[in-house]
Structure 1
């Protein structure tokens, strides 16, 4: 290929509407009704053709259309309103500036392998990316000094085609970056900003692009530059593609290259958030930076840990990125030499002894000040999953907490519902999304009004589904009759169930098909029929997931189910928006506890859809008995087949005995019970499960403490970091000298309420000072395998009874019930939480 320069040619904008281009390059337009109408009203057909991409729209719109808009009085009124809204949004005081005025310059860097901001920018595969996109939008709304860092994929995630045999086919589009709402980052002299990383001795050049998302920016890294070889240019080609070396290279570009890109732009974050383990190599790069300034390797680790936050999204060990030792050694040899360490020191940062691999999740977990799962249940599952790493801690103390996911309500809420809420909740309702009191106003919406809007959205969904199916059948050259019959598929008066998400086996897309006889009765009931709409992609390397798609397609073609069970192709943000706004029931059937959070059900709920879901992910926190339906139980199963059997039975019981009868108990054209259910769903879900609440929680619990701790650890030439490092080394060297000499208790097997147990413990501490340990009493409810709901109380140092032998005493009064108690000793330092050095010694039997 010969070299060439790129130029984007667009029509000249009339002066009266000259800021159209400015808004085209800011994703703020995507969550504002007026912002979308801003472009669509100029040429609706073109807006649809360019898939709602405002930059591409301006490249292809005819100049006469722009001139006409600039002379249209109604359009000019809309234009002024949008510009006023936009300017006010960018300049008004924010939640963050009010609450944390001293931290407005402390940048928070959020690293993620994917960002799902809008359908016009397809660099996402599913829930992780959509969450990252919503996280960024709420960070903008709240005014955080926030930036995102990710990769700019030339082919994005694949377009899905389902062929005439029901098989998924993957097509990779070639994205023209100059047609996307992104801009290149340049040096002050106008040249392209570039950074480099070393990959097995090769220098790989990385370009940087900027995405504007309201008040914040996302920086995307791109290796597709002529300075690189073809294989290296393709490193940012596909999301989650290639072999292990390709994946490792991508993650080095993201983590190492991302840090270097920020430094090149003079951005020095105060807190670093790793969104899943893909970006964890930023830890290694930040350690390398510090060692260049003569900071010791161990002290550098403490500095990095002090300001790092990690979110894990997977509930199973198999979901973690693992790399062979030899592969890591071949890619990090030069960096190891630069840091002045041996390879073992680097390997030990993330070595998974159980699986004998370098584990990216462990790299992040071991070097983060705070770590979290994405729902309460997932936090519990994650603590159990990481238990081997913290074998001496009680499971409840493993340092993985939880911040339950949410959605960006303004992005996912239907425009028709926004208008309805403006009438009944107040015109500024969107500024109070996290306030339950505001949402109580949903009860003031007349039932007929809410039902009318829901029916309108259902009609739009039906039109969309029919159009999609007809396009698919035309492309597959199906008979004309098969295309025509689609116009009879779906009906706004018939209960419609939606199931749309990634086709992974644990999500059990085929659970309903486990009992075909009952399914056929459900969809073919003459008085109370049901329709089902499925959509979703399976990763091209996931043959089991692709088999699920094939099975559902085959079922949908059976005479008894044809036209009643539909499978739509190419699930993306645009399709998701139609489905979560338009069906009646949102079905979610993951095998508990395999779903970390799941957010599609939240998107559905804020639009008034009813969730029918297993008690997994976010749903156990949201379900209150009056806002949807629970499938199965919270019981633990050891046999997947038995769990599937029980959940299938429960699902049909819920549908047949509760959901279907309630929906069809209609008076005056709708079911009052159903409308009450919709209102309760909106009221209970919207104020809690939104990313405004989520990002505020991250800010208060994670970002601000990380910023403060990071500053403390780096002040005075990294004094506290060095002190913590030395303390940990001392404790590690001498902890084997710590032991219990004796433990005495006044407790009896049976005691009366209010009685006190006197505890007396004698310990040998060896060369460790008493000020460096905490001796504690621990009690909790007795369960199989130990204690739960533990309470920890300190014991008091009474005396030194011999050299390095100390007596500690304590008094314990426990509540009524069956409790167990014990004593332990652990390291204690004001500089870090004890879980960072989990060398707890528990008392032997006493």
Structure 2
């Protein structure tokens, strides 16, 4: 075999077009249609065929075409206009710099297993990735100094194709890294920057690529290097691929390798945000670095790290959490444990609810994340409540309502999902400020100024675009399956551009109940068979390659369409990706969502529909439980959860048919004399007004900044001052309090006066607390009160802090407090004691609490 050497040929972009290369390597263009049109104008068909990838477009477009465009004055004027807009964006004074000028020099790190930024960079799988991508884009818009960290998967998002009977198969094409909008990070000698970290008994090396996302920067690690063992090169081959061992290796690379990569680039974030538990190992790497380089003990370093770490959980059920057996954790974490002065039992305990490791219970990445962060949140109000219930075992004596997991409801980056037709309307009627403040509710009140006829015309254009795009995909599917020419030609007649169009697109998992619509097939067939009020459904989505139950759902939908002979009104589009998602959310009339309550942590697809004029029809779970307001959409069932899943399905499938037949279909086809569905348009506007601002990623990121990022910044910076003096004191205080807490007890408590209490008055309560060697100012003695419970525990109680009145020489502290009696009825109260220290950001941090 003869030897070969590689070389690369790059496009000779003419000087007048040099700005295209800068734009191609910054994903700012993905939410600016004027910029995207620059690339589309070069070659419309090639642009589409390349999944809207500008770097590849510039690499393969004929040189003759570039030379031609370089002499086109109209095109050059377009390019100049876009460049000016881009430069203005990059140099503008931002919200963050104005709101928090004292933190202008600080930065944050945002770790995620996947990032869904655009279909041209397919290193994402689903909602978690798209959420991370929208988070990055909004951080850019707001000027939040955020660095994303992830892995660069060479096989990316798998390609889906269906057999003739509807069974899903997968293909994993290799990405062409040189044609992606990414750049290799280089060191000060212009060599590729590389970092090394132990993965089990071997050292693994990763190179780092950068993606520019407006003002924000995303760094992705790649282990596919010749100096690595072949097994280690595979770490960044496939997202969520392989077995448990591959998963822990990927999470070691993300957590340990990601922190080292930031450090190697000279970046020192003062806050780390873990988007799900996959990246929880980053905290161990940070602890190890402080032990080795700042002279801290393990416990001191843990306090310094946890105090500046945020954990967001997206999972509503324990089964969705990554867990590993102790043997696997020991094998991969042993090199790190040796560095930080802790035992393996200490580390295993961090991944369990128990303080003493239980060999029968697995090591949970989410539990590790909770133990190593002082700020935690779910992704909707419902999910926050579910998460508190799910993780109460970590705080066994704390009432569920007070488990320290808050919620920040997800949001979407509006301009990334908005159709150009609606964007033009918004510019005309909402004013230019809407793009900078998409979370300003007052701006969205102006949707009433948009004439009904103009809004409806724009929406009808988007529905027609959806139909055209869907037909093109369905035609391609038919050809790939070897369909006859006649069958291929039929795809040009599928779907009706004027019919009520209902969309359903998401990951196909059993809990999402994609086939709930098929519960009563005869009733559905009657709805689909109407000729005077036509209705059609467009489905899309992928099942996880190992989820056969999810694949069965897809198969059943496909077979229903075929067997009912209504395939022109009930279609499934293969190979769902962000491009397909865009034309669906921009063109549907109704977006349907049918998850099993309460298993939808948030859901974001419906949020993307609202600003485009689509209307949601969903189960009251996740975000829709917050958004639904009566006239902005429809619900499937109500908020009740039944013990029987079969009965739940029966009730909610009946609700689907009833609502379609009695409300949705009649309202859509109720036209005024001028042909406009006035009531429908009113509901469209109400959906836009009530949903867009509140469920924008701009609101979400601002909320993270105000409620979590800045408090974590302040806390983290305080803990590091004066060579980590506060962190040292906090660790020492916790150790002392933990040792002395066994001597703390409530000796007695009672109301000062007996008998009934009148509404509006206060009831004084006194308590005697044995403190031992604990100082009175180191405890918070609290009255916990609420309505009298039917069982033993007070639910959703309120807290009144009691004051010290005196302390005896025998170590008994006497405390008093007053209960406000605002409502009549039977009430109850209890007394509890918690440790208290100013540097403790979470009163339940020590998990020490004594009840009377």
Q: Is the 8 A contact 2:109 2:269 kept in 1?
A: yes
Match of 2:721 in 1: 715
1:643 matched to 2:648: yes
CA distance in structure 1 between the aligned counterparts of 2:739 and 2:647, rounded to whole angstroms: 49
Give the secondary structure class of the aligned counterpart of 1:19: helix
Q: CA offsets per residue over residues 792-821 of structure 1, 9 Å max, x none?
A: 111122222451122222222311133221
Q: Is the 8 A contact 1:8 1:178 kept in 2?
A: no
CA distance in structure 2 between the aligned counterparts of 1:206 and 1:807, rounded to whole angstroms: 60
Match of 2:690 in 1: 684
Q: Is the 8 A contact 2:309 2:373 kept in 1?
A: yes
- Of the structure 1 ranges 760-769 and 126-135, higher mean CA displacement relative to structure 2 is found in 760-769
Q: Is the 8 A contact 1:378 1:402 kept in 2?
A: yes
1:797 matched to 2:804: yes
Match of 1:308 in 2: 309
1:837 matched to 2:838: no
CA distance in structure 2 between the aligned counterparts of 1:826 and 1:840, rounded to whole angstroms: 5
- Of the structure 1 ranges 202-211 and 765-774, higher mean CA displacement relative to structure 2 is found in 765-774
Q: Is the 8 A contact 1:273 1:308 kept in 2?
A: yes
Task: State which of 823, 833, 842 in structure 2 corresponds to 1:816.
Answer: 823
Give the secondary structure class of the aligned counterpart of 2:794: strand
Q: Is the 8 A contact 1:352 1:358 kept in 2?
A: no
- Of the structure 1 ranges 775-784 and 219-228, higher mean CA displacement relative to structure 2 is found in 775-784
CA distance in structure 1 between the aligned counterparts of 2:651 and 2:789, rounded to whole angstroms: 26
Q: Is the 8 A contact 1:299 1:725 kept in 2?
A: yes
CA distance in structure 1 between the aligned counterparts of 2:821 and 2:489, rounded to whole angstroms: 73
| Residues 323-722 of structure 1 mapped to structure 2, 5 A cutoff | 323-353=324-354, 356-667=361-672, 668-722=674-728
Q: Is the 8 A contact 2:353 2:393 kept in 1?
A: no
| Residues 91-110 of structure 1 mapped to structure 2, 5 A cutoff | 91-110=91-110
CA distance in structure 2 between the aligned counterparts of 1:72 and 1:747, rounded to whole angstroms: 90
Match of 2:43 in 1: 43
CA distance in structure 1 between the aligned counterparts of 2:494 and 2:788, rounded to whole angstroms: 57
- Of the structure 1 ranges 190-199 and 280-289, higher mean CA displacement relative to structure 2 is found in 190-199
CA distance in structure 1 between the aligned counterparts of 2:580 and 2:471, rounded to whole angstroms: 12
Q: CA offsets per residue over residues 666-712 of structure 1, 9 Å max, x none?
A: 12223111111111111111111111111111111111111111111
Q: Is the 8 A contact 1:497 1:586 kept in 2?
A: yes
How far 1:6 moved relative to its partner? 5.3
Structure 1: unaligned runs, 5 residues or longer: none
Match of 2:787 in 1: 781
CA distance in structure 2 between the aligned counterparts of 1:47 and 1:390, rounded to whole angstroms: 54
How far 1:428 moved relative to its partner? 4.1
- Of the structure 1 ranges 668-677 and 2-11, higher mean CA displacement relative to structure 2 is found in 2-11
How far 1:761 moved relative to its partner? 1.2
Q: CA offsets per residue over residues 421-475 of structure 1, 9 Å max, x none?
A: 1111224431231112211221111111111111111111101111111111111
CA distance in structure 2 between the aligned counterparts of 1:701 and 1:5, rounded to whole angstroms: 54
Q: Is the 8 A contact 2:758 2:821 kept in 1?
A: no
C-alpha spacing 1:673/1:3, structure 2 compared with 1 (3 Å) = farther
1:762 matched to 2:771: no
Q: CA offsets per residue over residues 194-229 of structure 1, 9 Å max, x none?
A: 111112211111110000111111000000011112
C-alpha spacing 1:744/1:441, structure 2 compared with 1 (3 Å) = closer
Q: Is the 8 A contact 1:208 1:222 kept in 2?
A: yes
C-alpha spacing 1:733/1:2, structure 2 compared with 1 (3 Å) = farther
How far 1:172 moved relative to its partner? 0.3
- Of the structure 1 ranges 773-782 and 345-354, higher mean CA displacement relative to structure 2 is found in 345-354
CA distance in structure 1 between the aligned counterparts of 2:140 and 2:521, rounded to whole angstroms: 48
C-alpha spacing 1:433/1:4, structure 2 compared with 1 (3 Å) = farther
| Residues 59-458 of structure 1 mapped to structure 2, 5 A cutoff | 59-293=59-293, 294-353=295-354, 356-458=361-463
The alignment's TM-score, normalised by the length of structure 1, stands at 0.98
Q: Is the 8 A contact 1:447 1:675 kept in 2?
A: yes
CA distance in structure 2 between the aligned counterparts of 1:734 and 1:391, rounded to whole angstroms: 19
CA distance in structure 2 between the aligned counterparts of 1:790 and 1:4, rounded to whole angstroms: 73
Give the secondary structure class of the aligned counterpart of 1:836: coil
CA distance in structure 2 between the aligned counterparts of 1:737 and 1:6, rounded to whole angstroms: 73
CA distance in structure 2 between the aligned counterparts of 1:3 and 1:662, rounded to whole angstroms: 71
CA distance in structure 2 between the aligned counterparts of 1:84 and 1:605, rounded to whole angstroms: 31
Q: Is the 8 A contact 2:135 2:701 kept in 1?
A: yes
CA distance in structure 2 between the aligned counterparts of 1:625 and 1:139, rounded to whole angstroms: 32
The alignment's TM-score, normalised by the length of structure 2, stands at 0.97
Give the secondary structure class of the aligned counterpart of 1:776: strand
C-alpha spacing 1:817/1:551, structure 2 compared with 1 (3 Å) = farther
How far 1:577 moved relative to its partner? 0.4
CA distance in structure 1 between the aligned counterparts of 2:309 and 2:6, rounded to whole angstroms: 39
- Of the structure 1 ranges 764-773 and 749-758, higher mean CA displacement relative to structure 2 is found in 749-758
Match of 1:740 in 2: 746
CA distance in structure 2 between the aligned counterparts of 1:428 and 1:84, rounded to whole angstroms: 18
CA RMSD for the aligned pairs?
Answer: 1.5
How far 1:556 moved relative to its partner? 1.4
